[in-house]
Amino acid sequence: MEKRKIGSLEVTVVGLGCNNFGWRIDAQATTEVVDAALEAGINFFDTADIYAGGKSEEFLGRALGARRGQVVLATKFGMKLDEQRNGAKPAYVHQAVEDSLRRLGTDYIDLYQLHTPDASTPIADTLGALNDLVKAGKVREIGCSNFSAAQLREAEAAVSPSSVSKGAARFVSVQNHYSMLHREPESEVLPKCVGAGIAFIPYFPLANGLLSGKYRRGQPFPAGSRGSDAFGPKIFTDENLAKAESLANFAASRGHTLLELAMSWLASRPAVASIIAGAKTAAQVKANATAADWRLSEADLTEISRLL
């Protein structure tokens, strides 16, 4: 599988999002998904301390076991776990990483990401604490998530070029919502990433499953699918279902699936490093792993833009 860079890290263009672990699937199913990902050549695994209240990290750590060194392991901190565990103040950064290391069963994290901006803490303070973790060998690279271009600029300004040249850590990635049906990053964040050499990691690449190809207008949602969960009414609108149908027809005319179109389109976007795709079964992992192999032509991209 093609590999791309997140700072010094080399990651597969398709990664495994581990947000299902611990609540949508149990420990055994988690192990099956992780096994399938490794067999398919995926090396980038992304989780967060808040997923299933820490169980995602625990289940992922157990499933990897002795294979931990074979993967690029990413996790996130900063969203509210409880009244004491939230935010990005330096003291909590040090506590959060120790908690994640314990749950993951490892002594280092490859990519440690601030899950959401913390308006109550100067970003320079947070970056200082994260730099301490890098110097201590507990973290290899640092990133952020759900940041705007203005917030990326603020973080960039907080780390002087001279300190970076001396080895100070800076955000090497941003992980934001991006899909064919959610194009917001294109206005400011993606151009900022291109200009600053920041890797972009899309989450919700399949629009919460709408672009997986299993939904059709006028048909009931499959049992247990995302269409009936809390996100459903926001994403599974008539307009989006119509777009998905048009895109599916376009993909079929080229001998591909809607899933392959959604993943390959993201892989063609500037600054995108690894596409975080969740999975509940080994079969889903295998399908995701090969879905970004389609090299879209300029004519394809023009037609896709028209359809969207």
Backbone angles phi, psi at 232, to 5 degrees: -50, -55
- What DSSP string describes 47-79? --TTGGGGHHHHHHHHHHGGGGGGSEEEEEE-S
> Which contacts (CB < 8 Å, 24+ apart) does range 80-86 have?
80/50, 81/49, 81/50, 81/53, 81/54, 85/49
Q: Looking at the 3D structure of the chain, how many domains does it have?
A: 1
For 65-80, the pLDDT digits (tens) are 999 999 999 999 999 9
Q: Worst-scoring range by mean pLDDT, 47-56, 164-173, 231-240?
A: 231-240
Write down the pLDDT at residue 159.
Answer: 85
pLDDT(56) > 80 = yes
The DSSP bridge partners found for residue 272 are: 200
Q: What span, in angstroms and rounded, lies between the C-alpha atoms of 98 and 104?
A: 10
Write down the pLDDT at residue 219.
Answer: 67
Q: Where would I find the H helices in the chain?
A: 27-39, 55-64, 90-104, 123-135, 149-158, 161-165, 189-196, 232-235, 238-253, 258-267, 282-290, 298-307
SS3 content of the chain, % helix, strand, coil (to 5): 45, 20, 35
Q: What span, in angstroms and rounded, lies between the C-alpha atoms of 169 and 253?
A: 47
The token pair that represents 275 in the structure block: 């596409």
Query: What average pLDDT does this structure show over 27-53?
Result: 98
Query: What average pLDDT does this structure show over 125-141?
Result: 97
Q: What span, in angstroms and rounded, lies between the C-alpha atoms of 14 and 292?
A: 7
Range of the domain at 87: 3-307
Between 85 and 216, the more confident residue is 85
Between 234 and 81, the more confident residue is 81
Write down the pLDDT at residue 231.
Answer: 53
Q: What is the CATH number of the domain that holds 182?
A: 3.20.20.100
Candidate list 51, 92, 203, 215, residue with the active-site label: 51
Report the half-sphere exposure of 271 (CA within 13 A, side-chain side): 23
The DSSP bridge partners found for residue 175 are: 145, 201
pTM equals: 0.94
Q: What span, in angstroms and rounded, lies between the C-alpha atoms of 34 and 27?
A: 10
The token pair that represents 40 in the structure block: 């398919």
To which residue do tokens 């001998």 refer?
Answer: 255
Write down the pLDDT at residue 178.
Answer: 98
Residue 203 known to be catalytic: no
Query: What average pLDDT does this structure show over 3-22?
Result: 98
